[in-house]
Amino acid sequence: MPRADEIDAGDSAVLAAVVAALPEPLIVTDRAGSVLAFNSPALSAWPGLGRGRPLSLAVRSPEVLAAVDRLQRGEERATAQYAERVPVERIYEVVLSVVEVRTAEGRAPTFLLAFRDRTEQHRLDMMRVDFVANASHELRTPLASLLGFIETLQGPAREDASARERFLQIMRQQAQRMARLIDDLLSLSRVEMAEHRRPETPVDLAAIASQMVDTLRPLADERDVVISFSGPAGGAIVPGDRDDLMRVAENLIENAIKYGQSGGRVDVSVAIEDESPGRQQAILAVRDYGPGIAPEHVPRLTERFYRVDTGQSRGQGGTGLGLALVKHVVNRHRGRLTIESRPGEGAVFRVTLPAGDSVSRA
Ligand code: ADP
């Protein structure tokens, strides 16, 4: 009776077939560490692999080779982590085990190296760590300033009425900034949690955008920005979440007014277009004529807390979370966000959502 960890189908051809069928990299070596078999995912990860060649020439990882060494010294199983940072980051968890295989020469112990790709998981872990660090840092700054002013008011400025007024005003701003940050963090986590549920209620994207233009007109007036709106006469119905789409329009239009103020003009438009025959899409475009955004920043704008100029963003009451929120809402609606900008010529933020027609067919 073969043991459970022995391959007993008679020959190494079975092993080769199993190796070939597995979707993740797998390498088989003999006891000496010479490669016997590998599959194509392994070959694309380590192009230096070749039958009969030492494993150490292709997979240059001290940790993996140390684990092979442990098997050679009699251990049945070992694990290792394979990490490579250049040219691209790749992280694998490697499980090494010993399997008896019958070959022409008789039974021989062979080593199986099974790789599991953990790159994505690792990236997500790092993002989470960064996120917590960033969020704490963003909250700590206004908190430290609040504490400082409280101490001053309790001590040196106790009897100074005019200083008190001034400090209270600043404290109020700092507290409002913390409140905004927490509101944005909560909205972001709410949208993220709902991301897999696509909204279905028909809403009018044109009405939402036009309402937001009216709401933000006082802000535009305050900054001498002329804001215009155009939309299709019959509206632009999309399956959507009204509150979330309001936030999208609010963030994009507010950014255009704030960061594009020097252009003096913001154009908001909603249009319905044919995506393909019988399928329509609604497009919300927000265009400003301000300084624009340098190309190296554009792909990163939707990252949480990413800002071209942190001081400027904070000065405008920004949290650095607005576009991250926009992107999540757009994803939830199975839409697209595109950003076009040429420095000096302003920027256009476009949100494209599948419109009513395509949904009723889906
Ligand atoms: P916030 O405005 O709170 O800083 P956002 O996520 O909304 O955060 O925007 C991120 C950054 O993108 C802003 O800090 C700003 O640097 C840049 N940005 C956004 N919209 C524009 C725009 N219309 N023109 C120029 N820069 C912009």
- From CA 339, how far away is CA 335, in angstroms rounded? 14
| Binding-site residues, ligand 1, Cβ < 6 A | 251, 255-256, 259-260, 288, 290, 293, 301, 307-309, 313, 318-324, 347
**pTM (2 decimals)?**
0.75
For residue 91, give Cα distances in angstroms to 85, 117, 122, 130, 331. Answer: 8, 6, 8, 19, 27
Name the H helices within the chain: 12-21, 40-45, 55-58, 62-72, 119-154, 161-194, 205-222, 242-259, 310-315, 322-332, 356-361
Going by C-alpha positions, the residue among 240, 172, 238, 244 that lies closest to residue 212 is 244
For the stretch 45-70, what's the b/e string if a residue is b when 16 or more beta carbons lie within 10 angstroms of its beta carbon? bbeebeeeeebbebbebeebeebbee
Question: How many whole angstroms from 294 Cα to the centroid of ligand 1?
Answer: 12
pLDDT at 251: 97
- From CA 244, how far away is CA 331, in angstroms rounded? 11
Residue 358 has pLDDT above 50, yes or no: no
pLDDT at 315: 84
Residue 359 has pLDDT above 60, yes or no: no
Q: Is the peptide bond before 343 cis (omega within 30 degrees of 0)?
A: no
pLDDT band at 338 (very low <50, low <70, confident <90, very high): very high
pLDDT band at 11 (very low <50, low <70, confident <90, very high): low
* Ligand 1, atom nearest to 256 Cα: 23
pLDDT in tens, 102-135: 766 778 889 999 999 999 999 899 888 988 999 9
* Ligand 1, atom nearest to 288 Cα: 23
5 versus 245: the higher-pLDDT residue is 245
* Ligand 1, atom nearest to 309 Cα: 16
Mean of per-residue pLDDT scores for the chain: 90
Residue of 225, 323, 330, 339 with the most ligand 1 atoms within 8 Å of its CB, for mutation: 323
pLDDT at 356: 65
